[in-house]
Structure 1
Amino acid sequence: MVHAEMTLRNLFMPKQAVYQDAEPESINVLAILSRGKMHFNNYDYVKSLASFDVVLDLDPSNVDALIYRGKILYMFGQYEDSLKDLDRALTIDSVNVQALITRGNTLWMLKKFSECLADFCVALDIESNNPHALKLRGKFYRLLGKFDESLEDFNKSLELGHDSAFALRSRGELHHMLGNFEESLADLNQSLQIEPDNIFALRSRGATLFMLKYYKEALTDFNKVLEMNPNDSFANEYKDAIFLRQNLVNQLPRSQESN
């Protein structure tokens, strides 16, 4: 999530700068659209937003610009405005998978859960092998407690060769919830090979290692979490549990340590 106020649109990159003193009639909409996408891919969302604003001034029904602007507004936390753009995009192109996935994300943040799930399902009806939609619907099913459906979506996403850190972490967390700790560990190890400093994956792997009684390795993960966030209550609670168990084990006679 990009933490920024929408006043950035006026403070740093007013759309007038995109016009560069040219008359609107002389501006190449496709060139500005392409520039906006380039800025988006370079994570320069303020400049990207300014470009899409100009495109939509000149061509209010440009679906690409509506979707990209909807994405940026989502990242700025402007969910209602994002939804307006995505609704309009889907009014023009009702089977646009990218718009459906993005609107599903926005509806999720607005706590419109049934509509969110509907968008993910429609996207997958249109494009059944879309790994992004599969990952998101899998995560949503997991939150609903529909673990079989969640696992099916994560499996399919990963079978497609889309070994994303997110999908691996999410499936690993699901395996943990189902008590499949070895499978959980395998997925979380792979996820952390892709994103070694992902705090969510480190927490989850630490918890899984704890359940497998690999306390030293679990402690290493939780220490790494606490280096990034010293006040992380999840990691601190597990560290306390590890130290408590170690103290109890040290007090046992040798013959009972393995029990």
Structure 2
Amino acid sequence: MVLFLAAGFSAQAQDLELEGVEPFAIPEMEGAAAEAPPPAAEDAAPQTRAERLDALFAQLLDPAMTEAAATRVQAQIGRLWSESGSDTLDLLLLRGKRAVRAGELDKAKAHFSRLIAFAPEFPEGWSSRAAAAYADGDFGRALADVGRAVELEPRHFAAWSGLGAILEKMDRPQEALTAFRKALEINPFSQTARDGVKRLEREVDGRDA
């Protein structure tokens, strides 16, 4: 899944408008899930988190999916990704994202590092610290963290788009293109990934996308 990272990777709430920095952000998180249509009667029974995610990812690949509906689906996925199951961990995630928004990147990374220390299997901690490191120009740390995020959650399309952006900044266009394409396989509505593929296909493949 992340073989092209092998040489460079070392493993080490509410208020959901704070979804990190581009290109890690999930569009229009605030309020979007509330606008989603109610589930069909046969889907009304309680589902596990994994079952809900499976259903939402399947919707993104539905040929009948529209851009507006996809935004709502992405919002719901983002909300589920941000649920750690612990109020304390959710608070660390929230404080870190607020620090990113305020431009306090060292503080943000400190919050995310504490989150990772307490919950190393929680993908959003790694993805969020990768976003903060990317914003701070620390591409080596961002690369390692986002690699861990996609290992823990292989369908994390925002992390795959972030990986593409990091690799592009590191002048590794072929690997960046692979990452952007992976994001689009999971979520054909990722605008960051679409733009990355279009830009890098011209450079890597020598053709207009």
Q: Same fold (TM over 0.5)?
A: yes
Percent identical: 23
Q: Which residue of 1 aligns with 2:142?
A: 184
Kept after mapping to 1: 8 A contact 2:164/2:177? yes
Report deviation, 1:149. Answer: 1.7
Q: Secondary structure at the match of 2:121?
A: coil
- Structure 1 gaps of 5+ residues are 14-38, 46-74, 76-97, 102-129, 249-259
1:150 to 97, 101, 108: 108
Relative to structure 1, is the Cα distance of residues 154 and 40 closer, same or farther in structure 2, using a 3 angstrom cutoff? same
In 1: Cα distance, 2:153 partner to 2:96 partner: 20
If the length of structure 2 is used for normalisation, what is the TM-score?
A: 0.56
**Change in CA separation of 1:6 and 1:236 when aligned onto 2, cut-off 3 Å:** closer
Aligned position for 1:168: 126
Q: What root-mean-square deviation, in Å, do the aligned CA atoms of Structure 1 and Structure 2 show?
A: 3.2
Q: Partners of 1:190 and 1:183 in 2: how far apart?
A: 11
1:213 pairs with 2:171: yes
Which runs of no fewer than 5 residues in structure 2 stay unpaired? 1-32, 53-75, 77-85
- Determine which of 230, 238, 250 is the counterpart of 2:196: 238
Inter-partner Cα distance in structure 2 for 1:175 and 1:199: 18
- 1:203 and 1:210 mapped to 2: Cα distance? 11
Taking a change above 3 Å as real, the CA distance of residues 217 and 138 of structure 1, as seen in their structure-2 partners, is same
Matches within 5 A, 1:68-79: none
For the 8 Å contact 1:131–1:162, the answer to whether it is kept is no
TM-score (structure 1 length as normaliser): 0.46
- Would you say 1:159 and 2:110 are equivalent positions? no
Distance change (3 Å), C-alpha of 1:220 and 1:153: same
Per-residue deviation, 1:186: 0.2
Deviation at 1:241, TM superposition (A): 2.6
Bigger Rg, structure 1 or 2: 1
> Residues 33-112 of structure 1: matches in 2 within 5 Å?
39=46
Structure 1 runs of 4+ aligned residues shifted over 4 Å read 39-45
CA distance in 2, matches of 1:180, 1:141: 16
Please give the alpha-carbon distance, in whole angstroms, between the structure 2 residues aligned to 1:43 and 1:241. Answer: 34
- 2:130–2:143: 8 Å Cα contact kept in structure 1? yes
Which structure has more RCO (C-alpha within 8 Å, separation ≥ 6)? Answer: 2
Native 8 Å contact 2:174 2:204 kept in 1: no
The offset of 1:6, in angstroms, is: 9.5
